[in-house]
Chain A
Amino acid sequence: MRKTASLLMALALLSLPSAGRAADKVSDGAVRIGVLTDMTGFYSDLAGPGSVLAVKMAVADFGGKVLGKPIEVVSADHQNKPDIASNIARKWFDEGGVDAVVDLVNSGTALAVMPLAAEKKRITLLSGPGTTAITGDKCTAYNVHYTYDNWALANGTGREVVASGGKTWFFITADYVFGKSLEADTSKVVEAAGGKVLGFVRHPQNTSDFSSYLLQAQASGAQVVGMANAGADTINTIKQAREFGVTPKQTLAGLLVFISDIHSLGLELAKNMYLTTAFYWDRDAASRAWAKRFQALPDNQKKAMPTMVQAGLYSAVTHYLQAIQAAGTDAADPVMAKMKATPVNDFFGQGTIGPDGLFRHAMYLVQVKSPAESKYPWDYYKILKTIPPAQAFPSVEAQACPLVKK
């Protein structure tokens, strides 16, 4: 089914006029944004169709035009496969006249598309992938890593949970690049803060039964069980942790948890859990106003509140369009220079994009409310601490990115 869909899409792309990129201010007479995301897999609720919606909303709010030319949005399903992601991106660049590929949730797909975009001098705006390699040794000059990276997640949750007394840790880790990197980053943070890692267990991605891993976590006697996994894996871990009596004796620390996960689990199961997020809709007046507009969009059929990935994507795309406006062209080099030179200040956050491409902004350590504390729909988080940009993200100097002058 998916194959047919991508075939049709490829045909549709082929039929687009493949006019050469004129020396015009706006290439091909339009600014084209390609949303490359997971439309049906594990990440489709936290990115997916909601990400496409956020980008379309950003374009509509911008007025649908920049420098007098229309802004067009195309989207495709990368199915969490790097090869599919890079094939689609290549077609978009070569035949579709796409200027920027955005979202790329799933680190594997992001790392596959970034070098391709850099080679073709097109821009990637990442919201969703976590690996620190994106702004580390795999960094490119045409990329912005927006919403969060694993360092920020590990640091936020790891340091704060140790500070509040959770000294001993056991990890339940998804057995692939993302999970292992998150576990390694968090272990470092925990040990640096004076905590101790007692052990870990690695499970295959997309596992449904976590009971044996939870038994191992239980046997370790650790105070904190860190979940270095994501999506459905995290949801099932939390659900079964309650069943086996892991919680409330041991505390769960979610290293990558989205509001969509909390929504589908329900507060009864998720309550009291610590997590780090880049965005919470109910944080202040501006975030509330924007999120309620997003929720009310006619295409938002489930009336879901935006996840941090979707909110970050709106903010990133808006910043990109403003940079085109200010630079007077959609050519990648001047636009990137403008994006890095201009600070971001909107409902999502305040901060700047470094030479490594990482957007440094505040992160929030939150605790999930209990059903009694939740007063209205989607009232899920208590913000315990705002982590300022300088502490939330790695410093520019600490990055292994060759673009950073030392």
Chain B
Amino acid sequence: MQALFGQLLVGLINGSFYALLSLGLAIIFGLVNVVNFAHGALYMTGAFLAWFGLANLGIGYWPALLLSPLAVGLFGMVLERTMLRRLYQLDNLYGLLLTFGLTLIVEGLFHHAYGNSGNSYPVPEALQGGTDLGFMFLPRYRAWVVLVSVAVCFASWFVIERTRLGAYLRAGTENPRLLQAFGVNVPLMKTLTFGFGVALAGFAGVMAAPIYQVSPSMGSSLVIVVFAVVVIGGMGSIFGSIVTGLGLGLVEGLTKYLYPAASSTVVFAVMAVVLLFRPVGLFGRET
């Protein structure tokens, strides 16, 4: 029983990464209508920027938590302005292919420069150590990850679903022309939204750097699961992606306890079942 609690808590920690990443994807898909396959590569870039800052420029974890997502967000906005924008009137598939190609290029460049084994990023001093909860040893850093992810996810959901700015954003996807007629700069809004979505990926990358080895392939192993999360939650559903991310983390944790060999496939099994019974996803709206 004690072991089970431990596994569930660990699942929740992983789930908060899923939530943070799938939230970014859901925002980008929901508001900009792009299937951003480059999300994993941008997450990896965020982690690498944090590592590079610490190793070469003496920039610590706390400033990196802000600077790294900013840099990734800016990079994303450049991508949106120069490339993605041209594909808006075409099928989703073109955006997917473009971002997939970008992923290969970005990962290839990092691979060429840093090799496959990657680099270690230390846990920041203030968050080292941990607490013995009785049923498991909880590293302080992991607790921090859960708190911050939940806070960021909730704040994003709140802004998009409950504020005036969010209302503009949602209106922009429903009827961009009409919104533009009201004097709102829709193209700029899309650029900023895309930038925010990928900045979330960069943010998740910095959060992950002290836990996982910072390596060029760290994103590609995660992004597939995260896409499954988005599909299960319902493409573009912000709330759905957060809840599903956390929920699937728990399901995965449970599987690791009951039958570890299936832990890498359980998410996809859930996806298949959900798609069979509810093709729009758990929280998706029928159109």
Chain A residues close to B by CB (< 8 Å)? 1, 40-46, 48, 175, 201-204, 206-209, 211-213, 215-216, 218-219, 231-232, 235-236, 239-240, 243-245, 260-261, 263-266, 268-269, 302, 304
> Bound state CA distance, A304 and B142, in angstroms?
33
In the complex, the answer to whether B3 meets A216 with C-beta atoms within 8 Å is: yes
**With A203-B260, A269-B120 in contact, do A243 and B141 touch (Cβ < 8 Å)?**
yes
In the complex, the answer to whether B137 meets A244 with C-beta atoms within 8 Å is: yes
**With A209-B14, A215-B7 in contact, do A245 and B130 touch (Cβ < 8 Å)?**
yes
**With A42-B116, A208-B212, A232-B215 in contact, do A215 and B3 touch (Cβ < 8 Å)?**
yes
Query: Which B115-142 residues have a C-beta within 8 angstroms of A?
Result: 115-120, 122-123, 130, 136-137, 139, 141-142
In the complex, the answer to whether B116 meets A40 with C-beta atoms within 8 Å is: yes
In the complex, the answer to whether B115 meets A232 with C-beta atoms within 8 Å is: no
Kindly specify which of B78-86, B190-198, B217-225 makes contact with the partner chain.
B217-225
**With A215-B10, A243-B123 in contact, do A202 and B213 touch (Cβ < 8 Å)?**
no
Interface readout for B259-276 with A: 1 if CB under 8 Å, 0 if not?
A: 011011000000000000
Known: A45-B115, A206-B221, A232-B215. 20 other contacts (CB 8 A): A41-B116, A44-B111, A44-B116, A46-B117, A202-B261, A203-B260, A204-B261, A208-B221, A212-B11, A213-B256, A219-B2, A219-B3, A231-B117, A232-B117, A235-B118, A260-B117, A264-B117, A264-B118, A264-B119, A265-B120
Contacts of B118 in A (CB 8 A): 232, 235, 264
Q: Does B154 make an interface contact (CB < 8 A)? A: no
Q: Does B211 make an interface contact (CB < 8 A)? A: yes
Q: Does B169 make an interface contact (CB < 8 A)? A: no
> Bound state CA distance, A263 and B213, in angstroms?
12
CB distance from A308 to the nearest CB of B (A): 15
Most buried by A among B3, B108, B122, B137: B137
In the complex, the answer to whether B6 meets A213 with C-beta atoms within 8 Å is: no
Cross-chain pairs A/B with CB under 8 angstroms, 6 sampled? A209-B212, A211-B10, A211-B14, A231-B117, A243-B211, A265-B120
**With A1-B104, A204-B264, A243-B141 in contact, do A261 and B117 touch (Cβ < 8 Å)?**
yes
CB distance from A232 to the nearest CB of B (A): 6
> Bound state CA distance, A93 and B130, in angstroms?
57
Contacts of B111 in A (CB 8 A): 40, 44
**With A203-B263, A213-B260 in contact, do A240 and B136 touch (Cβ < 8 Å)?**
no
Chain B residues close to A by CB (< 8 Å)? 2-3, 6-7, 10-11, 13-14, 104, 108, 111, 115-120, 122-123, 130, 136-137, 139, 141-142, 211-213, 215, 217-218, 221-222, 253, 256-257, 260-261, 263-264
Contacts of A216 in B (CB 8 A): 3
CB distance from A104 to the nearest CB of B (A): 18
In the complex, the answer to whether A243 meets B139 with C-beta atoms within 8 Å is: yes
In the complex, the answer to whether A235 meets B213 with C-beta atoms within 8 Å is: yes
> Bound state CA distance, A331 and B188, in angstroms?
69
CB distance from A116 to the nearest CB of B (A): 27
The residue on B at minimum CB distance from A266 is: B120
> Bound state CA distance, A239 and B119, in angstroms?
11
In the complex, the answer to whether A215 meets B120 with C-beta atoms within 8 Å is: no
The residue on B at minimum CB distance from A240 is: B211
Contacts of A265 in B (CB 8 A): 120, 213
Contacts of B215 in A (CB 8 A): 232
**With A245-B137, A264-B120 in contact, do A236 and B6 touch (Cβ < 8 Å)?**
no
The residue on B at minimum CB distance from A236 is: B213
Contacts of A240 in B (CB 8 A): 211
> Bound state CA distance, A208 and B224, in angstroms?
13
Contacts of B218 in A (CB 8 A): 208
Contacts of B108 in A (CB 8 A): 1
CB distance from A174 to the nearest CB of B (A): 11
Contacts of A45 in B (CB 8 A): 115-117
The residue on A at minimum CB distance from B208 is: A208
Q: Which of B3, B213, B222 contacts A239 (CB 8 A)?
A: B213
CB distance from B145 to the nearest CB of A (A): 11
> Bound state CA distance, A240 and B136, in angstroms?
14
**With A235-B213, A240-B211 in contact, do A215 and B117 touch (Cβ < 8 Å)?**
no
In the complex, the answer to whether A218 meets B137 with C-beta atoms within 8 Å is: yes
Contacts of A236 in B (CB 8 A): 212-213
Most buried by B among A1, A203, A243: A243
Most buried by B among A209, A235, A266, A304: A209
